[in-house]
Structure 1
Amino acid sequence: MVSSDGLDVEKHAGVTNTLYEDNTGAVAGESFEYGDSVYAKLQRFAGKLHVEQRGIERVPDDERTDTSYLNVGSMWFSANMVVASFAIGVLGQSLFFVGFVDGILTVLFFNFLGASTVCFFSIFGAQFGLRQMVVSRFWFGWWGVKLIAIFNILACIGWSSANMIVGAQLLSAVNTDVPGYAGIIIISLCTMAVTFFGYKVVHTYELWSGIPTFIVFLIVLGVFAHSGAFMNVPMGVGTSELGGILSFGSTVYGFATGWTSYAADYTVYQPSNRSRTKIFFSTMLGLIFPLLFCEMLGVAIMTATTINGGVNKYADGYAASGNGGLLGAVLFDPLGGFGKFCVVILALSIIANNCPNIYSVSLTLLVLARWTRKVPRFVYTIIATGVSIAIAIPGYSHFETVLENFMNFIGYWLAIYEGIALTDHFVFKRGFSGYKAENYDRRDLLPPGIAAIFAFCCGIAGMITGMSQTWFVGPIALHAGEAPFGGDVGFELAFAFAATSYLITRPIEMKIFDDCIHQPQNLMNISSRADWADDEEFDDPSALPAQQVTTNKDGTKTIVSYRFNDDGKKVKVTRRIRTTVVKEHVNPAVADRRSWAKFGLEKGHVPGPSFDTTSVGENIIFRPSVNWKTHAKEAEKEGEKGGIKDQLKDKKVKCRICQGEHFTARCPFKDTMAPVDEPTGAGAGLDDEEPSAGGLANIGGSYVPPHLRKGTAAAAVAASGGSGSKYERDDLATLRVTNVSELAEEQELRDLFERFGRVTRVFLARDRETQRAKGFAFISFADRSDAASACEKVDGCKFPFFFLFFPIETEREYANFTAVGYRHLILRVEFAKRAT
């Protein structure tokens, strides 16, 4: 399709990288490829490779095709049936010195506590079609969520790095000649290959990758059970036991709840009508089984390191290669080469654990700023992988300390996040009905976020007082266990401080800012109703509401209209229009005049002409006559003869029938005579002339209008083939447009064709009942040459995808009309045939 200036319209249509949304804020998948920018080219390349192109934009209902609850559960089953979960259980004995029974109970309780929030927030993805960080805007506001996004980026990168270290340790245990950095690079590149392709490939990989890992862990369990190396380490007592349990529980909770900040990312393609209960429990089953199984197995195997006072192959293997050495001590001697193969499988299971981290960090980066959204999601997966490698390699030799500190950090900030989000959801929004998901990208309609940020800071204060780390012990944590480390109660206090402070400050924020936001809007709505007659009445249930036009913050307009479908039901049609201004250089005085403030009825409106009511330019056709001198002389002679009054001064009324001095309508012979000197009867038929008198003058009795009777100019035109009407249009400059969309409007067609010349008439054929277009229209131009130009340029264009490019003549605005779903309609334009 080619525009009037010879440009490829489809190629240049997306130079602004505008993603077209519907009235729900959802963005169609094909809109990512529009334009010739680098972004659009990358997206088109990704489309050819079947790479997911969508970032944080809302998913339309018709693109939510993931209808399997199995995908929901298997996603988290494979992501947690990994050696990293096993490593969390190992920390119970190696760092916190808990016994077997108390370690098992800690794993059970804190995993259920941490996993419950992941299950709950997974519902939001299916409910709204939005990513987790985007949903967070409804709690933290446009600016506040950027702080949350930074924490989430740190969490994703940190998790990824820690998991890479675990996998590298396993590979090093199989072959000590393999350096740690080599194992890290192998795992990271495999993870990037999966996450690069996006949602579907990630889910497909997670569906199957957990099965071989689970089989290997069963083998580990069976071999260890037959080895007799299990030791029932007794639980401790007193404040030292309390501190160890609290600190170990904080680590377990941090691992389980670590998925909270991107839970909704993996259900956005689930239909919105999915059962919330089924999504919740599908997620819970996928999480809780692998977490309990792997961590309890880690707790059990780590007890073997206490045999013979810590002098045994299990303790030696753990000291040499960490978790990989501990698993090697269980498998290598009894199984030989097959045992090494099992350890390699466990090492590669880290890929399944890292896929959610790398995939979600690529989405979180898009929330940081508008400019970050100019980079496609899949590019960020490459960047995130590189950063994770840079962190994992230096931290390889300090895994235990790094993992413990990191797990506690995750538990701390996510407890604050959960405290604010859950409080807002249940107390202030009162459930899912309190959200307007279409406002996810409307900064002016989102909460200010001041109360959330204040509550977040209060949560940090609670975290500091309750945290127990090697480098700092809070005053409350010191009393929760035995000195000098006490017990870690950081995440519990962080949640409590954040939730309480948000309960106090959020009502104040709503009172102040919501009044400021909504009051001007209400006043505007009241003042815009200038007359009581403007109120629309819908007493008739079959009447269609008036068309609504809304101006969006990005400069586009949303037009909502209504029509009846084939079943007679009333349906709503929403279209998005983008306007672009083409400017010209004008005289400085003209430019200054356009900037003057308006007064009177227009006071308060934007300076300059209103394009809705003012025509700032029109093509005027000038046709100079070659006989203009002759016409001028004739005009002078007419002037010499006197005016019209002089000519009619002595004029008398004369009947056309009897030539008497009375009006023809009052002639006594009007029903029996024909006008004098006009043939009647058979003579008229012989001369093939139309009857000239009214009434029954003709033998046929047909009535002949006066302007068509013999002797008039109109009759002469009619005799030559014309209609003789003073309203006769010039069909030579009329185009017939076919294959028009049933949702088309007259104004759209006028806007399309007016760029070629002045349009005098637009007729769009509509169905009387449904008021939908019948598929054809007539466009009349003032000049035939303009009609020919329009016919040449518009014929074969797609409708309603009109991307118009105007020559720089006048300052005007034009529209890019988009309505996804009608791109297959190709306009056919031809000159209309003369009516007969």
Structure 2
Amino acid sequence: MSESYDDDKEKGFVHDVVADAVPGDPIIANRLARYGKLGPIMQKLFASGVEARGVERVPESERESKNVWNNLLMWWSVNCVLTTIPIGVLAQEFYTLTLPHAVAVILCFGALGAVCTSFIAILGPKTGLRTMIITRYSSGYVGGSIYSVLNILTQLGFSVTAVILGGQTLASINPGTLPLVVGIIIVGICSLIPCFVGYNLVHIYERYAWIVVSIVMLFLWGLGGHAGFDISAQKANEDTGRNLSADILSFGGIVFGSVTGWAPVAADYNCRLPANTSSVRVFILTFLGLFIPITFVEILGAALMTITEPAYVDAFTNSGTGGLLSQVLSPWKGGGKFILVLLAMSVVANNIPNTYSAGLSMQALGRPFAIVPRFFWVFLAFVIYTVAGVAGREHFSEILSNFLSILSYWTAFFIVIVAEEHFIFRRPNGPLGGYNLDDWDTPSRLPVGVAGIVAGCCGVAGAVVGMTEVWYTGPIGKAAGGLFGADLGFELAAGFAAVVYAPLRWLEIRLMGR
């Protein structure tokens, strides 16, 4: 056996070296054979640069020694975008928080979310698997499929908010000249192209997209400051006592969800790194790539809402975040409109991983879905979220606030379950002694999944009793807060799942041996 194999085995990651040594990829070859008459066409398409691999594990022989710093650059590009600004705007728009309180919430809950997502990211190089396939090692084949459904909805929801905001901003540049529907379609098509090609083009785009947009964000900070940030602007409207605590917890759940929304896809974008890539380095670079741009831009959104000049207030009231940004850039006239175009198109960087991973999650639903080429599912995702964006284009803020709150619920218990499996049961000296990575698509050798599914259901129960939404408030959420309740959905979802999963998984292993 090779030295790399021995090293991986000691760490609990077992590979089939014989299969890895075979020239080419037998899984991809088998897939081409199943396409029948379409096989030669697909082969030419794949040979032209379109990614052939879908959810199949990337063997050691096909890993690429790319710079691990790409983790930092990619996540920076993904989050230093227009779509991150409205999350900060919600602090004042829905929760009447003053800027100091908004900043504190963004920093604290943003750091917590970044830690959770960065943990999931380290599993990519170690396993060579996509995130939704990794869930099979804790929740079984059926449980993994359930998570895939949740992730499909998550990524499509992110995409809907991205195309709406991008379209709104394009339409606000010269009001009346570009219909909002056309703007939404433009953003959607631009997001589709790199995802259709696949992994390599996604990384190439994200490696550089952050540069221009980061400069644009600095421009917005400068112009906003020139217009006049008023730190005490919301003081008169801010709640006090238990109502204030409720607002902080509810907004914190939204911030947490905006970061952990990337957890179900975090391993998708580094599964081609060598297995011996430093986990500490991957964790730190992913954390920085998430935390710095997300907090920087969300705080910008909160700060822009403190501008009290009537023109700025009216711009937001009439045209939402896009109108506010247009007003902020208005002193630069034509130059400001050009920057608005850059801002509008920045959502493409954010929407690319949504689209790409939605396609992978569709493949992860099961073998019949995995046989269908990845690019087909990517195209289907594009159609779905573009149509949904057109339909919901007049309700952006409501979609964003409700979606991000609900998102934080399931990602919280998903992360807890995967973490307990990894640190308790899959540790080198644990009950299972590691991951047998060749079992990724063999249901009979994967966990039965009862523990993972039951723990997930308990997580849902925790979210239900702790949530505070416009359409429903759970009993614990209502008791914890003031007039409208405090959203404790993600905290209770994680807590319920954590308590239930470990003993059930231990029992499952004792009874089933896997």
When normalised by structure 2's length, the TM-score is: 0.92
1:324 to 322, 347, 358: 322
Counterpart-to-counterpart distance in 2, 1:444 and 1:278: 35
Match of 1:348 among 345, 349, 352: 345
- Asked if 1:450 is matched to 2:450, the reply is yes
Q: CA deviation at 1:23?
A: 3.9
Instruction: State the distance in 2 between where 1:378 and 1:21 align.
Output: 29
The match for 1:265 among 242, 259, 268 is 268
Q: Contact conserved, 1:55 with 1:366, CA < 8 A, in 2?
A: yes
Q: For residue 506 of structure 2, what is the aligned residue in structure 1?
A: 507
Cα–Cα, structure 1 residues 137 and 42, in superposed 2: closer, same or farther, change >3 Å?
farther
Per-residue CA deviation, residues 387-420 of structure 1 (Å, 9 max, x unaligned), is: 0111111111011111111001110011111121
How has the CA–CA distance of structure 1 residues 98 and 38 changed in structure 2, closer, same or farther, with 3 Å as cutoff?
farther
Once residues 438 and 41 of structure 2 are traced to their aligned partners in structure 1, the CA distance between those partners, rounded to angstroms, is 27
Q: Does 1:242 align with 2:207?
A: no
The aligned amino acid for 1:502 is: Y
Q: Distance in 2 between matches of 1:215 and 1:317?
A: 23
> Is the partner of 2:480 in helix, strand or coil?
coil
Asked if the contact 2:20–2:61 (Cα under 8 Å) also holds between the matched residues in 1, the reply is no
Q: What does residue range 59-78 of structure 1 map to in structure 2 within 5 Å?
A: 59-78=58-77
> Which residue pairs with 1:397 in the alignment?
394
Contact preservation (8 Å) 1:317, 1:326: yes
Distance 2:21 2:255 in 1: 38
Name the residue aligned to 1:182: 182
Match of 1:373 among 351, 370, 377: 370
Structure 2 Cα separation of the partners of residues 173 and 337 of structure 1: 13
Amino acid of the structure 2 residue aligned with 1:349 = S
The CA deviation at 1:42 is 4.2
Determine whether 1:32 maps to 2:34. no
Residue 314 in 1 paired to residue 312 in 2? yes
Q: Give the 3 Å change call, closer, same or farther, for CA 27–493 of structure 1 in structure 2.
A: farther
CA RMSD, Structure 1 to Structure 2 (Å): 1.9
Structure 2 residue matching 1:393: 3-state secondary structure: helix
Which residue of 1 is the match for residue 290 of structure 2?
287
Check conservation: 1:112, 1:288, Cα contact below 8 A.
Answer: yes
Letter in 1 for 2:341: V
TM-superposed deviation, 1:41: 3.0
Report if aligned partners of 1:42, 1:376 keep a CA contact under 8 Å in 2.
no
What is the aligned residue count?
A: 489
Secondary structure of 1:303's counterpart equals: coil
Aligned pairs for 1:806-825 within 5 A: none
| SS of aligned partner of 2:391 | coil
Change (3 A) 1:137 1:118: same
5+ residue gaps, structure 1, are 1-19, 518-836
- What SS does structure 1 have at the residue aligned with 2:197? coil
Q: Which residue identity is paired with 2:306?
A: T
Contact preservation (8 Å) 2:229, 2:303: no
In structure 2, distance between residues paired with 1:377 and 1:444: 25
The 5-angstrom pairing of residues 787-826 of structure 1 reads none
Q: Tell whether the 8 Å contact from 2:127 to 2:271 is kept in structure 1 after alignment.
A: yes
What SS does the aligned partner of 1:472 have? coil
1:411 to 398, 408, 412: 408
Deviation at 1:246, TM superposition (A): 0.6
SS of 2:52's equivalent in the other structure is: coil
How far the C-alpha of 1:274 sits from its partner, in A, is: 0.7
Deviation digits for residues 464-515 of structure 1 (CA, Å, limit 9, x no counterpart): 11000011111111122212x211000000000011011221122122222x
AA of the residue aligned to 2:355: I
Distance 1:24 1:495 in 2: 37
1:421 counterpart = 2:418: yes
Q: Deviations over 1:239-287 (max 9, x none)?
A: 1101110110000000011000011000011011111111111111111
CA 38–500 in structure 1, closer or farther in 2 if over 3 Å, else same: farther
1:192-229 Cα shifts (integer Å, max 9, x gaps): 01111111100000011111111111111111112224
Instruction: Give deviations 1:612-667, integer Å, cap 9, x for gaps.
Output: xxxxxxxxxxxxxxxxxxxxxxxxxxxxxxxxxxxxxxxxxxxxxxxxxxxxxxxx
SS in 2 for 1:254: helix
CA distance in 2, matches of 1:409, 1:25: 44
Q: Hey, what's the Cα distance between the residues in 2 that align with 1:69 and 1:162?
A: 30
Contact in 1 for aligned 2:316/2:324 (Cα 8 Å): yes
When residues 220 and 510 of structure 1 are mapped into structure 2, their CA distance, relative to the original with a 3 A threshold, is same
Partners of 2:167 and 2:23 in 1: CA distance = 41
> Structure 1's 347 and 267: CA in aligned 2 closer, same or farther, altered over 3 A?
same
Note closer, same or farther for the CA distance 1:93–1:50 as it changes in structure 2 (3 Å cut).
same
Structure 1 residue 43: deviation in Å?
A: 2.8
Aligned to 2:115: 116
Q: 1:336 pairs with 328, 333, 340, which one? A: 333
- Where structure 2 has 5 or more consecutive residues not aligned to the other structure, the ranges are 1-15
Q: Relative to total residues, which structure has the larger helix share, 1 or 2?
A: 2
Partner of 2:199: 199
Kindly state the Cα deviation for residue 320 of structure 1 after the two structures are TM-superposed.
2.0
RCO higher in structure (CA 8 A, sep ≥6): 2
Task: Please state if 1:89 is matched with 2:88.
Answer: yes
Q: Does structure 1 residue 208 correspond to structure 2 residue 208?
A: yes
**Alpha carbons 1:161, 1:389 under 8 Å: kept:** yes
In the aligned structure 2, how far is the partner of 1:406 from the partner of 1:25? 45
Once the two structures are superposed, what CA deviation does each residue of 1:292-339 show, in whole Å capped at 9, x if it has no partner? 1100111111111xx27xxx112211122211101111111x100100
In 1, Cα distance between equivalents of 2:253 and 2:59: 39
Counterpart amino acid of residue 346 in structure 1 = L
Distance 1:179 1:438 in 2: 51
Structure number having the greater strand percentage: 1
**Cα distance in structure 1, aligned partners of 2:23 and 2:107:** 42
- Residue number in structure 2 paired with 1:639: none
Distance 1:352 1:319 in 2: 27
CA 1:256/1:39 → structure 2, altered by over 3 Å: closer, same or farther? farther
Shift of 1:373: 1.7
CA distance in 2, matches of 1:47, 1:24: 20
Change over 3 Å in CA distance of 1:447–1:31 after alignment to 2 = closer
Is this contact kept in 2: 1:26–1:57, CA < 8 A? Answer: no
Distance 1:367 1:37 in 2: 22
Structure 1 segments of 4+ aligned residues over 3 angstroms from their partners: 20-31, 33-36, 233-236
Match of 2:151 in 1: 152
Letter in 1 for 2:130: R
Contact 1:29–1:54 (Cα < 8 Å) also in 2? no
**Cα separation, 1, equivalents of 2:301 and 2:171:** 19
Q: Cα deviation per residue 1:32-89 (whole Å; 9 max; x = unaligned)? A: 3553615523431322321111011111222211420221111100000001111100
Q: Offset of 1:25 from its aligned partner? A: 11
Q: Which residue of 2 aligns with 1:56?
A: 55
**Equivalent pair of 1:39/1:375 in contact (CA under 8 Å):** no
- Contact conserved, 2:181 with 2:390, CA < 8 A, in 1? yes
Question: Per the alignment, do residues 389 and 512 of structure 1 end up closer, same or farther by CA in structure 2, a change over 3 Å counting?
Answer: same
| 8 Å contact from structure 1 (residues 142, 449) kept in 2 | yes
> Residues 161 and 498 from structure 1, CA distance in 2 versus in 1: closer, same or farther, beyond 3 angstroms?
same
Which AA in structure 1 matches 2:57? R
Letter in 2 for 1:338: G
1: CA distance, partners of 2:262 / 2:23: 26
Matches within 5 A, 1:635-714: none
1:107 Cα deviation from its structure 2 partner: 0.2
Distance in 2 between residues matched to 1:349 and 1:26, nearest whole Å: 42
Distance 2:444 2:168 in 1: 50
The percentage of counterpart residues that share the same residue type is: 37
**Aligned partners of 2:98 and 2:231 also within 8 Å:** no
Structure 2: distance between partners of 1:398 and 1:114 = 26
Give the Cα separation in 1 of the matches to 2:319 and 2:291. Answer: 28
Partner Cα distance (1:441, 1:301) in 2: 49
Quote the Cα distance in structure 1 between the aligned partners of 2:498 and 2:377: 33
- Residue 466 of structure 1 is matched in structure 2 by 466
